Amino acid sequence: MLDRALDLLFPPRCIVCNRIASALCSQCAPPRAPLHRTLGGGIEVRALGAYEGAWRRAVLALKDGRRDLVAALGERLGHALEAADAHLVGVPTSASRRMRRGFDGGEQLASLAASVGERAASRGLIFVARDRQRGRSRVERLDARGRFRAGDTSLAGTHVTLIDDVCTTGATLADAAFALRSCGAIVERALVVALTDASRKRAAR
Ligand SMILES: [Zn+2]
């Protein structure tokens, strides 16, 4: 009741074009079928759209902390899930970014997508603070692959689909897959909101 009254007083507007609609109107969402790319390390990435135009502005607004967009994009990801996407793990952001936004984009997108598609989601990854990397040699840093460690050892033997907002070079997804594979998870798939041109060129090489 209160929600409806608030909607009448402050109707929701599209984040991209400001039209009175949902947080992301049908005209601003990418119209095409999902993009498919294979990244190094045997990860098949699907994206809802290319990181350009209105879709890029939507992703940037998400990164700025627009909670209503998390719901809109999480729902879209949920509808794009395939049968093989049995268990979702969101790629976590750094603690400082999470503080600034007030939420963890990757984890929130994964849990919302899972609830739409009736899939399981877990916090399978922990972001390793960069500070802890200081003092290590370059070789040690490369060996650790930096950013993540597995946070859920019960994922051993489970097929995991990574969920993230944007795939640029694919390095973040590769790091995340490396950490999950170290505890025995099977990681061959990722679903992201947007793919940049760089990741598409890289995959085409
Ligand atoms: Zn719009």
Query: What CATH code is carried by the domain that includes residue 196?
Result: 3.40.50
Could you tell me which residues come within 8 angstroms of residue 50 by beta carbon, excluding any fewer than 6 positions away?
Answer: 30, 35, 194, 195, 196, 197, 200
Task: Tell me if 9 is assigned to some domain.
Answer: no
**Which pLDDT score is estimated for 186?**
96
Q: Lowest-confidence range among 19-33, 49-63, 134-148, 164-178?
A: 134-148
Task: Tell me if 2 is assigned to some domain.
Answer: no
Q: How would residue 12 be classed by pLDDT, with cut points 50, 70 and 90? A: confident
**Which pLDDT score is estimated for 162?**
97
Task: Tell me if 152 is assigned to some domain.
Answer: yes
Cα of 23 from ligand 1 centre, angstroms: 8
State the average pLDDT over residues 27-35: 76
Cα of 89 from ligand 1 centre, angstroms: 29
Task: Tell me if 20 is assigned to some domain.
Answer: no
Cα of 24 from ligand 1 centre, angstroms: 6
How many angstroms separate the CA atoms of 97 and 179, rounded?
21
200 vs 144, more confident: 200
Task: Determine how many CB atoms are found less than 10 A away from the CB of residue 128.
Answer: 18
Could you tell me which residues come within 8 angstroms of residue 128 by beta carbon, excluding any fewer than 6 positions away?
Answer: 144, 146, 147, 148, 149
Task: Tell me if 14 is assigned to some domain.
Answer: no
Cα of 50 from ligand 1 centre, angstroms: 16
CB 46 within 8 A of CB 192: yes
How many angstroms separate the CA atoms of 122 and 22, rounded?
28
Task: Tell me if 5 is assigned to some domain.
Answer: no
State the average pLDDT over residues 90-110: 85
Task: Tell me if 16 is assigned to some domain.
Answer: no
Largest pairwise CA distance in the chain = 59
Domain with 46 in it: 30-204
Closest CA to 124 of 155, 165, 170: 155
Instruction: Count structural domains, the chain.
Output: 1
Residue 23 has pLDDT above 50, yes or no: yes
**Which pLDDT score is estimated for 146?**
66
Is pTM, for the whole model, over 0.95? no
How far, in Å, are 112, 156, 190 from residue 58 at the CA level?
Answer: 17, 35, 20
Residue 205 has pLDDT above 50, yes or no: no
What size, in residues, is the chain?
205
Which element (helix H / strand E) includes 105?
helix 105-117
Q: How would residue 10 be classed by pLDDT, with cut points 50, 70 and 90? A: confident
